[in-house]
Amino acid sequence: MSEGILIKIPEMLREEADLYVESGYFENRSELIREAIREFLDKLEKDRQGVAIDMYRKGKISLGRAAEISGVGFEKMKAILAERGIPINRGPESLSELQGEYSAAKDL
């Protein structure tokens, strides 16, 4: 059984919500609020994913960290990046490149 939540909203928002209920878009305020929360959480997820993709593309975070920020698994993150045409960083291609990355990391 779910637990109820009591919230207070400003009169203007309540009046606007009631217009949607009265016109039949929603059965009641609770349905409107549930849908608003779902939409908001979906938007947050997309925003987090966008931030993670941008940071990964700029080389600021790893693929694993991008997946963590996005709230998806490693393989799913690889698929998301591939869908957007963003190449997956497979790591250094030579010993000298690895040594350069190591030196740069050491200086941080």
pLDDT tens-digit readout, 69-99 = 998 999 999 999 999 999 998 766 678 767 7
> How buried is residue 52: exposed, middle or buried, by Cβ count under 10 Å (0-12/13-18/19+)?
buried
Q: Residue 32's pLDDT band (boundaries 50, 70, 90)? A: very high
Measure the CA–CA gap between 17 and 42, rounded to whole angstroms.
20
The DSSP output letter for 93 is S
Q: Report the predicted TM-score, pTM, of the whole model to 2 decimal places.
A: 0.55
Contact, 67 vs 76, CB < 8 A?
A: yes
Which residue type sits at 108?
L
Contact, 63 vs 56, CB < 8 A?
A: yes
Buried b / exposed e across 61-84, counting CB within 10 Å, b at 16+? Answer: bebeebbbbbebeeeebbebbeee
Query: Does the residue 5 lie in any domain?
Result: no
Query: Does the residue 2 lie in any domain?
Result: no
Range of the domain at 77: 11-106
